[in-house]
Amino acid sequence: MRRNRWLAPVLGTLCMFGLNACSAESNDVTADASGAPEAQQRSPAPAFTLKDVEGRDVSLAQHRGQVVIVDFWATWCPPCIYQVPELNKLWVAHRDRGDLAVIGVAVDTEGFEVVAPWVQEQGVEYPIVVGDEALAREFGAHGFPTLAIIDREGNIDSLHVGLIEFEQLEQLVQEVPDAT
């Protein structure tokens, strides 16, 4: 069942406090003089090792060889609630294949005290760690939610600010080039 489709974009705009919330930006291709796509140099994703809600270390490096979706979100961000079912669906579709990892990075300053209950309440199925806004900014996040898609070699393939539905997420994952 779809939640109110009009509500999420409105809340997303409010949540971003004037930031460029509902746009999606991608750094994966540029066009040459003829207009043909040309591969652009990808930048390495910032390394991190953070604790998940169960106290285990989760690092970006442990997922080398997989496409990784890093979702920067916060409990105080209403549109972040709407991203959870889409990411759950993507995670469930891929978890047994081993080709994709989804990591939610909460930026709440209150830490696990507010994050753990929110994760349980929302039925999040993928790993959630607690980070901060500084890490989100290192990835290029301009608002929340922001998804960073990391290629199999640990480089940022693209960034997407605002809500993304399952079908678009699937397409973005399929478009990530294989490791060289």
pLDDT of residue 178: 86
CB 149 within 8 A of CB 24: no
> What is the C-alpha to C-alpha distance for residues 26 and 149, in angstroms, rounded to an integer?
10
pLDDT of residue 19: 40
pLDDT of residue 179: 74
Burial class of residue 81 (count of CB atoms within 10 Å of its CB; 0-12, 13-18, 19+): middle
Query: What are 33-77's pLDDT values in tens digits?
Result: 333 333 456 799 999 999 999 999 999 999 999 999 999 999 999
Cα dihedral across residues 122, 161, 169, 154: positive or negative: negative
- Ranges under pLDDT 70 in the chain: 1-41, 180
Question: Where are the chain's structural domains?
Answer: 7-175
CATH 3.40.30.10 holds for 7-175: yes
pLDDT of residue 168: 97
pLDDT of residue 68: 98
Question: b or e along 40-53 (b: 16 or more beta carbons within 10 Å of the residue's beta carbon)?
Answer: eebeebbebebebb
pLDDT of residue 57: 97
CA distances from 112 to 30, 85, 106 (A): 40, 21, 9
pLDDT of residue 42: 79
Q: What is the pTM of this model?
A: 0.79
List the structure tokens of 148.
């960073």
pLDDT of residue 180: 65
